[in-house]
């Protein structure tokens, strides 16, 4: 932008100098035409040089001629100076234009390079944005998993407590079972002992009754009564043995 403004300013200066040089050149041409027309004006307007000399205007004419010559000389020198300045400005303008074109080309290359870098940065930014979205999604899933793990841990703790209670209850049942088994074994032993003692007692009683029967020679009715009592005792003994077998 600055180089472009500088070039426009130089172009305006060159055009201005061209206009000024053209004006100066036209003024010089007008003076040349005036000097070339002086003799003609004297002749056409009826000027008599002798009359002029007589009237004392020669000095004024010479003075005017000198002034006009000086002005013409100054104008010519100024024109030459302006022309040289114009050439310098034109050379400077051409050089500046070449430099501007070179800088413009360099700037265009830099702009193209920056555009490529920008597009690359945009792609990288989009990729990073995608990665951030993926990480945010994974973070959300991680939090959900943490909630699930926490719930599972609470459930596991509850189940573990229930299992511990069940183990305690099982240990209590095992202890109760062992106690009952011990009580059962003791009861079984006591029953067997009582049955054995009862059997021995009954056997002794029967033997005693048989001895009494053999020694007393009782009557038939008494024998029948004793036989009935013996049968009842034997039946009771058989029932007791059956119960003992069932309990075993």
CA 96/CA 146 separation, integer angstroms: 71
Judge contact between 49 and 5, C-beta under 8 A: no
Contacts of 229 (CB under 8 A, 6+ apart): 209
Predicted TM-score (pTM) of the model is 0.34
pLDDT digits (tens, 9 = 90+) for 192-226: 888 888 888 888 877 777 777 666 655 555 556 66
Q: How far apart are CA 194 and CA 200, in angstroms?
A: 10
What is the rounded CA–CA span in Å between residue 99 and residue 2? Answer: 13
State the helix-helix crossing angle for 220-247 and 58-216, rounded to 10 degrees.
160
Q: Are 159 and 200 in contact (CB under 8 A)?
A: no
pLDDT tens across 145-195, in order? 999 888 888 888 888 888 888 888 888 888 888 898 888 888 888 888 888
For 108, the token pair is: 């265009």
For the chain, domain boundaries: 2-125, 189-247
Q: Which residue has the higher pLDDT, 79 or 149?
A: 149
The least confident of 20-24, 83-87, 157-161, 242-246 is: 242-246
């Amino acid at each position: 932008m600055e180089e472009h403004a500088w070039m426009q300013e130089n172009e305006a200066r060159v055009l201005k100098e061209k206009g000024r040089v053209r004006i100066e050149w036209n003024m010089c041409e007008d003076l040349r035409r005036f000097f070339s027309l002086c003799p003609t004006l004297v002749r056409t307007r009826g000027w008599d040089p002798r009359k002029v000399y007589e009237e004392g205007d020669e000095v004024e004419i010479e003075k005017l001629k000198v002034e006009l010559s000086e002005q013409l000389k100054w104008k010519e020198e100024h024109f030459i100076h302006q022309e040289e300045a114009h050439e310098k400005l034109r050379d400077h303008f051409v050089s500046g234009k070449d430099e501007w074109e070179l800088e413009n080309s360099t700037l265009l290359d830099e702009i193209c390079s920056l555009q490529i870098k920008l597009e690359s940065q945009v792609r990288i930014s989009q990729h990073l944005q995608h990665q951030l979205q993926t990480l945010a999604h994974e973070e959300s899933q991680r939090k959900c998993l943490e909630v699930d793990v926490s719930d599972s841990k609470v459930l596991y703790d509850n189940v573990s407590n229930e299992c511990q209670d069940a183990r305690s209850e099982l240990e209590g049942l095992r202890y109760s079972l062992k106690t009952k088994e011990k009580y059962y074994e003791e009861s079984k032993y006591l029953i067997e002992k009582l049955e054995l003692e009862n059997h021995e007692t009954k056997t002794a009683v029967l033997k005693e009754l048989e001895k009494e029967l053999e020694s007393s020679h009782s009557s038939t009715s008494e024998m029948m009564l004793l036989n009935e009592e013996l049968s009842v005792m034997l039946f009771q003994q058989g029932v007791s043995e059956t119960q003992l077998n069932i309990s075993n």
